[in-house]
Amino acid sequence: MRDMGVCVTRVPSYGMGKTRAKRRKKQRVQSAARRKTAVAGREFPDPRAVTAQVTAMDGVPVDEETFIFAVEPIRLDGGDVLMFQSPHVPPFYLLTAKAFRDTAEPQRIEALNRTSRETDGSLRPLDAAGAFDALEGLAVAVILSAAAIEAHANDMIRRLPEDASVTVKRKNVEIVFERESMERALYLEEKITLVGPMLNGGKSIKGTVAWEAYRRVVPLRNELLHMKSRAQNDPDEPGPFGLLMRGEGSRAPEDAAMLIHAVEPDWIPNRVRAELGIS
């Protein structure tokens, strides 16, 4: 039998279904209104897209702001081909992570501050569903932030010269990896600390503020993806969801952007950096 932590919550039976249904209906109406407003006021071009500004065509300067977009085709069930804009992957993940975090963080703070005290002296969030919503958004934000880091690291490998190689030490044995094997064989930490300097001639970020940002995001992502089979029942050493509730993933998008910017300065587009607070 597994060692499980047990938490019992008493919920009044009267009115809960109607109350929850009303709250969900209100949230759907508010979400629809927000989407309508967002569509009307969206930035063009979308910062999540792969774009380039056109300054001239056939040697003739263009008079108006003109952009080109990378697009991908998919064949629909009816036989037509739909062309949709390709996301610029790391910025796409970063901005999506930020959107989830921006929604979840007020819910996390509310879960910490709007509580009831139980007979054993412990506190409980008054809105248990809101606390779940906070965990949901923050978990997605951390996972996508780490995905942005790894996507950028793999992109750096692809931009290395074809004859590039890197030497790493595994169990006191030095192993040489050619470029074609780096993406599959290197650990993410090795990609960040070794490939970045190979590509741009800079120094390793180990020991810097950016390295601390890496250590806040990636290990937490790993814990979320490799949950232990038993419940976490130590308030001083919580599991990954306890860490999220404590706020340790609340700056994951900014941390990931800071790391990428440190590894390859100015690679993230200016307007994306501005939105993520990176100068």
**3-state class (DSSP) for residue 208:** coil
pTM: 0.79
Tell me the sheet residues that pair with 169.
174
The per-residue pLDDT for 278 is 86
CB contact at 8 A, 244 and 135: yes
CA 68 to each of CA 45, 54, 155: distance values in angstroms, whole numbers, following the listed order: 9, 7, 21
**3-state class (DSSP) for residue 54:** strand
Structure confidence at residue 97 as a pLDDT band (50, 70, 90): very high
The per-residue pLDDT for 63 is 79
Q: Which of 15-24, 50-59, 128-137, 216-225 has the lowest mean pLDDT?
A: 15-24
The predicted-structure confidence for 189-240, as pLDDT tens digits, reads as follows 999 999 999 998 888 999 999 999 999 999 999 999 998 777 678 889 999 9
Which of 223, 256, 222, 260 lies closest to 239 in space, CA to CA? Answer: 223
Which of 137, 147, 108 lies closest to 247 in space, CA to CA? Answer: 108
Within its chain, how far is the Cα of 75 from the centroid?
29
Structure confidence at residue 25 as a pLDDT band (50, 70, 90): low
The per-residue pLDDT for 124 is 95
Within its chain, how far is the Cα of 77 from the centroid?
32
Stretch 91-100: mean pLDDT, rounded?
96
For 229-279, the DSSP string reads SS----TTS--HHHHHHHTTTTTHHHHHHHHHHHHSTT-S-HHHHHHTT--
The predicted-structure confidence for 132-173, as pLDDT tens digits, reads as follows 999 999 999 999 999 999 999 999 999 999 999 999 998 889
The per-residue pLDDT for 86 is 87
Distance from C-alpha of 224 to C-alpha of 228, rounded to nearest angstrom: 9
Neighbours of 100 (CB within 10 A): 21
Phi/psi of residue 149, nearest 5 degrees: -60, -45
The per-residue pLDDT for 150 is 97
